[in-house]
């Protein structure tokens, strides 16, 4: 199991309905995108961090391990705004107001990423996917997503075991051995994936599969109090942003 999935299953908000957490997490993401970068996105970023490390109870080290990947994409995208191609100053030159635009983009994207991570760190996919059918998503699409989600962990575990076996047999001693091991890893994982899919299909057929996977979903109700508090927090952030935008130079 991936660290973010393990954190979601052990989250303090695990028993809350996904709608409660979606209103807060995706609401923060929408505010980060729609409000002015300063001070709006900065306020959203600080709020999302406070909620993640505080009420949600996400460990800081685990949050950083998951956040550094999207943060790297955010930084890479912001760096492209520092330069411009073509123009009177040469083929490649520093863009006018490039640092300002790059900072605004970095604020927006990093704050929006934290909003999405708030939902991911508190909502296991096994709780979310079965409920999508009630939301109008076709059942076959949800079934494919469920099977893909469950199979991915089995394949990741197989890849880890294969790499450990290759390392024990000195399969990573030099570059040539590394390439041979990589080719063997891909071939073995491909064969095992088809083998697991075949066995899964045979197992479902033997159990009378009729086109729908029936799974147990933990009982949860939408909390009016939690949702109202989330909406109040989002409204307060929007109002505070408007006030500070007029007050700050």
In a domain, 211, yes or no: no
Kindly indicate the confidence band of residue 213, based on its pLDDT and cuts at 50, 70 and 90.
Answer: low
Q: Whole-prediction pTM value?
A: 0.76
pLDDT band of 62, cuts 50, 70, 90: confident
Residue 213 lies in a domain: no
pLDDT of amino acid 184: 85
In a domain, 228, yes or no: yes
Pair (119, 237) in one structural domain: yes
Alpha-carbon distance of 209 to 224, in angstroms, equals 37
Q: What pLDDT was estimated at residue 3?
A: 74
| Number of domains present in the structure of the chain | 2
Residue 8 pairs in a beta bridge with none
State yes or no: pLDDT of 181 exceeds 80: yes
Q: Please indicate, yes or no, if residue 52 is contained in any of the structural domains.
A: yes
Query: What per-residue confidence (pLDDT) applies to 131?
Result: 78
Confidence (pLDDT) at 82 = 82
Do 198 and 234 fall into the same domain?
no
What integer best gives the mean pLDDT of the chain? 82
As a whole number of angstroms, the distance between CA 133 and CA 141 comes to 9
Same domain, 110 and 24: yes
State the pLDDT at residue 210.
Answer: 66
| Measured CA angle at 18 (ends 17, 23), to 5 deg | 110
pLDDT in tens, 185-200: 888 888 888 887 788 7
The answer to whether residue 7 sits within a structural domain is: yes
Range of the domain at 113: 3-123+220-247
Please tell me whether residues 142 and 119 are part of one structural domain: no
State pLDDT tens for residues 132-168. Answer: 777 777 777 877 787 777 777 778 888 888 888 888 8
**Residues 159, 59 share a domain:** no
Q: Are residues 25 and 94 in the same domain?
A: yes
For residue 239, the tally of other CB atoms under 10 A from its CB is: 10
Q: What sign for the dihedral angle of Cα 10, 13, 15, 18? A: negative
Within this chain, do residues 232 and 194 fall inside the same structural domain, yes or no? no
**Domain co-membership, 96 together with 193:** no
Do residues 142 and 118 lie in contact, with contact meaning Cβ atoms separated by under 8 Å? no
Q: Does residue 212 fall inside a structural domain?
A: no
Q: Is 89 found in the same domain as 159?
A: no
Q: State which H helix or E strand residue 93 sits in.
A: strand 92-94
Would residue 235 count as lying in a domain? yes
- The verdict on 117 and 182 lying in the same domain is no
Residues 49 and 66 grouped into a single domain = yes
Same domain, 69 and 160: no
By CB atoms closer than 10 A (0-12, 13-18, 19+), residue 117 is buried
Domain presence at residue 214: no
The answer to whether 124 and 9 have CB atoms below 8 angstroms apart is yes
């Amino acid at each position: 199991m991936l660290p973010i999935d393990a954190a979601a299953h052990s989250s303090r908000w695990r028993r809350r309905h996904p709608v409660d957490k979606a209103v807060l997490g995706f609401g923060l993401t929408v505010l980060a995108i729609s409000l002015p970068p300063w001070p709006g996105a900065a306020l959203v970023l600080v709020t999302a961090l406070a909620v993640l490390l505080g009420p949600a109870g996400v460990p800081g080290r685990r949050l950083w391990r998951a956040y550094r990947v999207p943060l790297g994409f955010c930084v890479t995208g912001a760096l492209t705004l520092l330069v411009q191609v073509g123009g009177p100053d040469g083929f490649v030159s520093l863009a006018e107001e490039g640092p300002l635009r790059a900072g605004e983009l970095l604020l927006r994207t990093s704050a929006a990423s934290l909003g999405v991570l708030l939902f991911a760190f508190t909502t296991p996919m096994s709780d979310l996917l079965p409920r999508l059918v009630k939301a109008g998503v076709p059942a076959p699409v949800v079934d494919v997503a469920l099977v893909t989600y469950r199979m991915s962990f089995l394949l990741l575990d197989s890849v880890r075991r294969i790499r450990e076996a290759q390392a024990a047999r000195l399969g990573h001693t030099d570059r040539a051995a590394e390439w041979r091991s990589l080719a063997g890893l891909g071939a073995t994982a491909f064969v095992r994936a088809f083998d697991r899919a075949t066995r899964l299909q045979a197992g479902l057929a033997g159990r009378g599969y009729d086109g729908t996977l029936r799974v147990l979903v933990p009982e949860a109700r939408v909390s009016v109090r939690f949702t109202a508090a989330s909406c109040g927090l989002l409204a307060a952030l929007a109002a505070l942003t408007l006030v500070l935008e007029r007050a700050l130079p």
